[in-house]
A and B are shown apart, each in its own frame.
Chain A
Amino acid sequence: MAENHDRASEPVLYELRAARKRYGSGDTLVHAVAGIDLRIERGEFVVVAGPSGSGKTTLLQLLGALDRPSGGDVLFEGRSLAAMSDAELAGLRRTTLGFIFQQFNLIPTLTAQQNVEVALAPGELRAPDRRQRARDLLGRVGLGARAGHLPSQLSGGEQQRVAIARALANEPRVLLADEPTGNLDSATGDEVLALLRSLNEEDGISVVLVTHDPSSADSAKRLVRIRDGLLLGPAEVVPVTAA
């Protein structure tokens, strides 16, 4: 359902126009995203909430240029992601987007510092600069003392903070978080959400967070509900006042 808002003067980060994504064919055809119109502005903290199987992860993957829409279009800063090549999408992901996953997705054989460095590896930073930046980022998320530990030696919350540091490695304009607190206890989850809020408020990084947990919506400046591949609710997104 289309949104109605008068924000034409503000820079648009994302614009989805009847975006669709389907999987399979025939009897197994699934419309994960069934036609979504959505605008996300720069600097927003948007929470996309919905039950399991509602299409929220698929929506995030479309926003993150991890997948191409089956129909409609996904525009990032005015550019159609469907028209970009795989190499261009990879470059976009590296330089502009940061990803945070529910299962952290750290490389198990690399240390915390090396997991942050892995995001910097395709770039042109010299090795000493790369290592220093990784240590700085780990310090920023409160893990400076744990740089040399393997993921198996870190708690869930610590692993997620390493993942956040990795996501910040290339100074992204957008952080895309897929159920970042899904594998964490509530206290740790709150810490992670607080970190994301501070990144949004202090650094101006746009955040799009998908979750099935309604309590995560408290972090949002804007809440979008999704079910069966479609956005729910009234035409206007209901802004949520931060607690």
Chain B
Amino acid sequence: MFYLSYIACELRRRKGRTLLTALGLGVGVGLVVTVTALSNGLDRAQRKVLAPLTGVGTDVSVTRPLKVNAGGAGFAGPGAGLSASERKQLEQENGGARIGLQNLGKPGAKFQQTNFVTLTQLSFPATTIGDVKALAGVADVAGGLTITALTVSGTVPKSTQPQGPPGAGATGGPPRNINFDQLSLAGVDPTHPTLAAISPGQIVKGSYLTAGVTRQAVLNISYARRKGLAVGDKLELKGRTFTIVGIAKTPIGGQASDAYLELDQLQRLSGRAGRVNVLYVRARRADAVGSVQESIERSVAGSSVTTSKDLADRVGGSLVDAKNLSSKLGTALAIAGLIAAFAIACLLTLSSVTKRIRELGTLKAIGWPQRLVVRQVTGESLAQGALGGIAGAVIGVAGAAVITAIGPTLKASVAAAASPVAAGPGPGAGPLGGSFGQGAVTSGSALVKLDAPVDVGLILLAVGLALLGGLLAGAVGGLRAARLRPADALRHIG
């Protein structure tokens, strides 16, 4: 077709204009490709961090946290704000009195005592599982138990009375030959592996808990390293020996305990048979999570319902900052760049048509109908758009490659879960200090290497945008050409 030859000749022989227009479009489109690739990379990094949180299978977790003192002055002691029955229940669950040293044996005798305590949340009967499962939108429910095993060991001191002159008050801290150790534990229902504090996917060594097998434990990797334990070793707990069958790594934002036992066994060991203090709930559909959350809050008195989105929202750090920056500033920059590129293409095309007025007037004079003149101008612009798309794809891919090559490392961090119980010693809290927030969300940070992936879809987007720019410029130039009157065009001094 002569029309295509004419376009090719125009582009080939007016190199400056062709390159300028294609480059203008290319830079704008390339910016869109790079920003989109960067955004994709950030999405991928976020998914990598969040996948273990959201992919476990639990959509909603339910607990019954203790309330903070209404005065907001911090922890008011276990039982503060609870009803009489709940206070009694809490005392029963935690074994009532403080750890006392009076009945451990004769002075000088060695002792070890383990108490299972929970100070941050109440338990509820396992029958609640069935109640929640019956709610609309709920697909499945499993129970869990998160507690702390507080072990006191050592030698019975010669005196358990406060030292010093009468009236002088208690002196010093605990006797030096008393050891305190705490171990956070989580009970897992192995028949619901994806509705539990840990899932099989989080096992990094060994295996997951097997239903029906007794005295097995999975350790958290950080605890195992701290204690120098490995798969096959033994864990002693209140006189029982558990075989370590696996090591798990919980993601940041995921629930973390030091050790995981079969729920049944932990319930019996801790004297909480038939009790759970966390429910793991899966909704039937993703869009039902909100309504499930509301139903549970209405049905289970005093419940605190947390969704995986709540966990995801707590992830912060430079990864999230970069994502937000990319979403807001990056998008705005890409749009501005694209508008500028389109404007440049239109202006250059208009300028070209103005410079070629005599030529276009001659075409009309020798009998070219208006539609062919417009088609010529539009076709040239589209061809420049195609070149711009190629340039944009190359620039965009190069930009993305630079980002990937630099590979900045971003941090995703999660602060410790806000516990209704303030850290630190307090009545019933024991002398060790620190949070007894069992089942707390894993705090800390993860480093993620950023890349900027480019796929075929993105390349096609680049070419498509550039063609759109060419079409727009062609429409503007074509309109100008269409309005040319041959006589006026031929009078033009160009």
Which one of A41-49, A117-125, A141-149, A214-222 contacts B?
A117-125
* Assembly CA distance A93 to B486 (angstroms): 11
Which one of B28-36, B368-376, B414-422 contacts A?
B368-376
Return the contact of B367 from the options A58, A101, A122, A130 (Cβ within 8 A).
Answer: A122
Query: What's the least CB distance linking B238 to chain A, in Å?
Result: 92
Please indicate the chain B residues that have their CB under 8 angstroms from the CB of A94 in the complex.
366-368
The answer to whether A90 touches B2 (Cβ under 8 A) is: no
* Assembly CA distance A87 to B368 (angstroms): 9
Please indicate the chain A residues that have their CB under 8 angstroms from the CB of B5 in the complex.
114
Asked if A66 meets B6 with Cβ closer than 8 Å, knowing A90-B369, A105-B358, A122-B369, the reply is no
Please indicate the chain B residues that have their CB under 8 angstroms from the CB of A98 in the complex.
366
Query: What's the least CB distance linking B298 to chain A, in Å?
Result: 75
* Assembly CA distance A67 to B489 (angstroms): 11
Asked if A66 meets B13 with Cβ closer than 8 Å, knowing A105-B358, A105-B362, the reply is no
The answer to whether A118 touches B487 (Cβ under 8 A) is: no
Asked if A67 meets B363 with Cβ closer than 8 Å, knowing A109-B9, A121-B2, the reply is no
The answer to whether A67 touches B487 (Cβ under 8 A) is: yes
A200 sits at the interface (CB 8 A): no
The answer to whether B490 touches A122 (Cβ under 8 A) is: no
Q: In the complex, which residue of chain A has the Cβ closest to the Cβ of B363?
A: A118
Please indicate the chain A residues that have their CB under 8 angstroms from the CB of B364 in the complex.
90
Query: What's the least CB distance linking A168 to chain B, in Å?
Result: 11
The answer to whether B13 touches A108 (Cβ under 8 A) is: yes
Please indicate the chain A residues that have their CB under 8 angstroms from the CB of B359 in the complex.
105, 107-108
* Assembly CA distance A120 to B365 (angstroms): 13
B485 sits at the interface (CB 8 A): yes
Please indicate the chain B residues that have their CB under 8 angstroms from the CB of A64 in the complex.
365
Q: In the complex, which residue of chain A has the Cβ closest to the Cβ of B8?
A: A109
Please indicate the chain A residues that have their CB under 8 angstroms from the CB of B366 in the complex.
93-94, 98-99, 118-119, 166-167
Q: In the complex, which residue of chain B has the Cβ closest to the Cβ of A67?
A: B487
Please indicate the chain A residues that have their CB under 8 angstroms from the CB of B10 in the complex.
109
Q: In the complex, which residue of chain A has the Cβ closest to the Cβ of B370?
A: A86
A139 sits at the interface (CB 8 A): no
Query: What's the least CB distance linking A160 to chain B, in Å?
Result: 14
Return the contact of B6 from the options A92, A101, A110, A120 (Cβ within 8 A).
Answer: A110
Binary interface encoding of chain B residues 4-17 relative to chain A, with 1 for a CB under 8 A from any of its CBs, else 0: 01100110111000
B180 sits at the interface (CB 8 A): no
Please indicate the chain A residues that have their CB under 8 angstroms from the CB of B9 in the complex.
109-110, 114
Please indicate the chain A residues that have their CB under 8 angstroms from the CB of B3 in the complex.
121
Please indicate the chain B residues that have their CB under 8 angstroms from the CB of A91 in the complex.
367, 369
Please indicate the chain B residues that have their CB under 8 angstroms from the CB of A107 in the complex.
6, 359, 362
The answer to whether B368 touches A90 (Cβ under 8 A) is: yes
Binary interface encoding of chain A residues 67-86 relative to chain B, with 1 for a CB under 8 A from any of its CBs, else 0: 10000000000000000001
Count of chain A to chain B residue pairs whose CB atoms are closer than 8 Å in the complex: 83
Query: What's the least CB distance linking A21 to chain B, in Å?
Result: 9
Chain B interface category by residue count? 20 to 34
The answer to whether B367 touches A66 (Cβ under 8 A) is: no
A61 sits at the interface (CB 8 A): yes
* Assembly CA distance A119 to B13 (angstroms): 20
Q: In the complex, which residue of chain B has the Cβ closest to the Cβ of A150?
A: B13
* Assembly CA distance A150 to B363 (angstroms): 17
* Assembly CA distance A2 to B12 (angstroms): 53
The answer to whether B490 touches A105 (Cβ under 8 A) is: yes
Max chain A CB contacts within 10 Å: which of B9, B358, B366? Answer: B366
The answer to whether B13 touches A109 (Cβ under 8 A) is: yes
Q: In the complex, which residue of chain B has the Cβ closest to the Cβ of A110?
A: B9
Query: What's the least CB distance linking A19 to chain B, in Å?
Result: 14
Please indicate the chain A residues that have their CB under 8 angstroms from the CB of B2 in the complex.
114, 117-118, 120-121, 127, 130
A188 sits at the interface (CB 8 A): no
Q: In the complex, which residue of chain B has the Cβ closest to the Cβ of A169?
A: B366
* Assembly CA distance A170 to B365 (angstroms): 13
Please indicate the chain A residues that have their CB under 8 angstroms from the CB of B363 in the complex.
118
The answer to whether B370 touches A90 (Cβ under 8 A) is: yes
Q: In the complex, which residue of chain A has the Cβ closest to the Cβ of B2?
A: A121
Asked if A122 meets B368 with Cβ closer than 8 Å, knowing A67-B486, A107-B359, A117-B2, the reply is yes
* Assembly CA distance A1 to B369 (angstroms): 35
Max chain A CB contacts within 10 Å: which of B2, B359, B368? Answer: B2
Please indicate the chain A residues that have their CB under 8 angstroms from the CB of B6 in the complex.
107, 110, 114, 118, 121
* Assembly CA distance A122 to B367 (angstroms): 8
Query: What's the least CB distance linking A172 to chain B, in Å?
Result: 10
A183 sits at the interface (CB 8 A): no
* Assembly CA distance A120 to B368 (angstroms): 9
Please indicate the chain A residues that have their CB under 8 angstroms from the CB of B362 in the complex.
99, 101, 105, 107
* Assembly CA distance A95 to B368 (angstroms): 11
The answer to whether B369 touches A87 (Cβ under 8 A) is: yes
* Assembly CA distance A107 to B1 (angstroms): 17
Please indicate the chain B residues that have their CB under 8 angstroms from the CB of A67 in the complex.
485-487
Binary interface encoding of chain B residues 352-386 relative to chain A, with 1 for a CB under 8 A from any of its CBs, else 0: 00000011001111111110100000000000000
What are 7 of the A-B contact pairs (CB < 8 Å)?
A58-B487, A90-B368, A90-B370, A93-B367, A118-B2, A121-B2, A170-B367
Chain A interface residues toward B at CB < 8 A: 58, 61, 64, 66-67, 86-87, 90-95, 97-99, 101, 103, 105, 107-110, 114, 117-122, 127, 130, 150, 166-167, 170
Chain B interface residues toward A at CB < 8 A: 1-3, 5-6, 9-10, 12-14, 358-359, 362-370, 372, 485-487, 490
Known: A91-B367, A166-B366. 18 other contacts (CB 8 A): A61-B486, A66-B490, A67-B487, A90-B369, A90-B370, A91-B369, A98-B366, A99-B365, A101-B490, A103-B358, A105-B358, A107-B359, A107-B362, A109-B10, A109-B13, A114-B5, A118-B2, A121-B372
